[in-house]
A = this chain, B = another copy of it.
Amino acid sequence: MKYTHHNGELTLKNLNESVHLKGWVAKVRNLGGLLFIDLRDRYGITQLLCKPENSNYQTALKIRNEYVIDIEGLVIERESKNKLMHTGDIEVDITNLTILSTAETPPIMISDESDALEETRLKYRYLDLRRPVMQNYLIKRHEITQSIRRTLVESGFYELETPILGKSTPEGARDYLVPSRLYPGTFFALPQSPQIYKQLFMVAGFEKYFQIARCFRDEDLRADRQPEFTQIDVEASFIDEEDIQNVIEKLMKNLFHDVLNIEIETPFLRMTYLDAMTQYGTDKPDLRYDLKIQNFTNTLKPLNIPLFEGKEFVRSLRIKNASSITRKRIDQLTELVKKNHGDALAYIKFADQALTGSVAKYFTPDVIKDLNLSDQEMIFFVPGTFENTSSALSSLRIALAEELSLIPENEYKFLWVTDWPLLEYNEEEKRYYAMHHPFTAPKDANVLKNDPKHAMAKAYDIVLNGYEIGGGSIRIHNQEVQRLMFDTLGLSKHDIETRFGFFVDALKYGTPPHGGLALGLDRIVMLMTHTSNIKDVIAFPKTQSAKDLMMQAPSEVDINQLNDLMIKVDKS
């Protein structure tokens, strides 16, 4: 290409060189005849200079923001240097200037700071993405993808593609359907994950597979969900939990080194599901700060506190240096606790040698003494079932950590959560659901058969800073166990046959033991770029109501298209 440099590279080392640059005009300043132009490309900004005596001056005067130009010029030293910019010591004196493309005034500012409405930003996504901060999200995503792929390829995994036009086997989330034209009345479904395909790769003997796979769920969207998302899908044969965890730890170590130049420690901490729930109230605890849940049930029983009467558990969070927590803040925290299934929030506070708080009066001197409270220490209590107190205290824990600035920035704490229950019982529907999915291997098939409620799974989740970034399991590789699992989930023989018949069939021709996991790419990019908006890390996202505001999709289609498919819209 004819361009000699990009806009992020020229320094005093290039002094007096003739250079050829291109890019977008980020800014034009006319200082009493002297024209300065900031030229931007994906690498950075170079300052250009055009004096009135320059033969290009008349052309330069026409230039507006976001014009695309091509210039030749001479690298000269700046009079007033900008130490914040890599190219801040030099400027380029234009010798030839060509306008490649003009630009109307864009509807949003092309700068890192933007006060445009999200709706406007999404409509003009191609301009929103021109903002350097937004470009950086996708560039990091690119780098993250390359690093992850490198580790997997070097570890002997084959990257294999699976179909997007698959079969509808709804279990859990809703499928996106695609009407078949050749077989009217039948439908393909977009995959919620390549789960079955990747297991079939193991049956087929590929031994190690991965894919950076697009997945689809037609769900009512939450803020951090998109109708289509990308997962790093991994599966291997002849392995156990430890093997797959080792691969992923290596992947993460390389990833953080490659992209952020941060060395993370391996092996990661392992914690059982039960320990996580007991100590943190959640299956994805943020371990960047301590703040564990304590069980006060037995300590408090003798105090006969009316609020805790008849409650199965009283669990608590205990914080030091709580002077900043006002009554008003406690009211807000009480709301938070109730929103998260907590029955109530009670507290005591020790300050200036006195115990105050909503339940302070019930505390006997002995109990107070045993608590060994320091000045400005508080204890929050939530009564209720194990599940409800877990949920409430987990939210309270996060709120308190933020309040007390306990969360270190730029720290990355990984955790494997292991030893999951295999099933959860739905009281309303009177049936079991798979806690992960119906292909997860039980630790003991006999327990699944005889006491499904207590069956444990060979499953593991990977958690980073309080977010589940992936999960997986060793899979069932025995046909009989797979049938037992489907039976336990209440699938009829007919259901099994029509939905998973081919898969159960596949298991009988020599299936190796196998397992794997899937990592959420979007979430990983979010955590590594410190954004809380999933749309920032997806080039062309949908809104929370599953619309593409730029393309105006979904849209009505030609009636002939529907006739071809033999389908009719029926809003009645």
CB of A207 within 8 A of chain B? yes
Expressed in whole angstroms, the minimum distance between the Cβ of A505 and any Cβ of chain B is 8
Residue of B159, B181, B511 near A145 (CB, 8 A) is B159
> How many copies of this chain sit in the oligomeric assembly?
2
**Which residues of chain B are within 8 angstroms of A268 by Cβ–Cβ distance?**
none
**Which residues of chain B are within 8 angstroms of A79 by Cβ–Cβ distance?**
none
**Which residues of chain B are within 8 angstroms of A160 by Cβ–Cβ distance?**
138, 141-142, 539
Expressed in whole angstroms, the minimum distance between the Cβ of A4 and any Cβ of chain B is 12
Once bound together, how far apart are the Cα atoms of A188 and B214, in whole Å? Answer: 16
> How would residues 551 to 570 of chain A score, 1 for a CB under 8 Å from any chain B CB and 0 otherwise?
11111111001001111111
Question: B139 contacts A158, CB within 8 Å?
Answer: yes
Q: A220's closest neighbor in chain B, by CB?
A: B182
Once bound together, how far apart are the Cα atoms of A542 and B203, in whole Å? Answer: 19
**Which residues of chain B are within 8 angstroms of A82 by Cβ–Cβ distance?**
none
Q: A139's closest neighbor in chain B, by CB?
A: B158
> How would residues 85 to 104 of chain A score, 1 for a CB under 8 Å from any chain B CB and 0 otherwise?
00000000000000011111
Once bound together, how far apart are the Cα atoms of A220 and B190, in whole Å? Answer: 21
Residue of B146, B200, B539, B546 near A180 (CB, 8 A) is B546
CB of A177 within 8 A of chain B? yes
CB of A230 within 8 A of chain B? yes
Question: A101 contacts B556, CB within 8 Å?
Answer: no
CB of A486 within 8 A of chain B? no
**Which residues of chain B are within 8 angstroms of A545 by Cβ–Cβ distance?**
182
CB of A186 within 8 A of chain B? yes
Q: A553's closest neighbor in chain B, by CB?
A: B167
Once bound together, how far apart are the Cα atoms of A512 and B41, in whole Å? Answer: 11
**Which residues of chain B are within 8 angstroms of A230 by Cβ–Cβ distance?**
161
Q: A182-B545, A553-B166, A571-B184 are in contact. Are A100 and B512 (CB under 8 A)?
A: yes
Q: A174-B181, A204-B135, A238-B3 are in contact. Are A186 and B509 (CB under 8 A)?
A: no
Question: B571 contacts A170, CB within 8 Å?
Answer: no
**Which residues of chain B are within 8 angstroms of A206 by Cβ–Cβ distance?**
42, 129, 135, 138
Residues A499-541 near B (CB distance < 8 A):
502, 506, 508-513, 538-540
Residues A75-133 near B (CB distance < 8 A):
100-104, 106, 123-130
Question: A228 contacts B502, CB within 8 Å?
Answer: no
Question: A510 contacts B142, CB within 8 Å?
Answer: no
CB of A442 within 8 A of chain B? no
CB of A465 within 8 A of chain B? no
Residues A128-187 near B (CB distance < 8 A):
128-130, 135, 138-139, 141-142, 145-146, 149, 153, 158-168, 170, 174-187
Question: A510 contacts B184, CB within 8 Å?
Answer: no
CB of A354 within 8 A of chain B? no
Question: B565 contacts A568, CB within 8 Å?
Answer: no
Residue of B180, B228, B539 near A197 (CB, 8 A) is B539
CB of A227 within 8 A of chain B? yes
Residue of B1, B163, B179 near A177 (CB, 8 A) is B179
**Which residues of chain B are within 8 angstroms of A419 by Cβ–Cβ distance?**
none
CB of A24 within 8 A of chain B? yes
Question: A186 contacts B540, CB within 8 Å?
Answer: no
A-B contact pairs, 12 of them (CB 8 A): A67-B510, A100-B512, A128-B204, A138-B158, A161-B214, A164-B164, A166-B553, A177-B561, A179-B179, A179-B567, A181-B218, A187-B557
Residues of A with Cβ closer than 8 Å to B?
1, 3, 22, 24-25, 40-42, 66-68, 70, 100-104, 106, 123-130, 135, 138-139, 141-142, 145-146, 149, 153, 158-168, 170, 174-190, 197, 200-201, 203-207, 214, 216, 218, 227-228, 230, 238-239, 243, 477-478, 498, 502, 506, 508-513, 538-540, 542, 545-548, 550-558, 561, 564-571
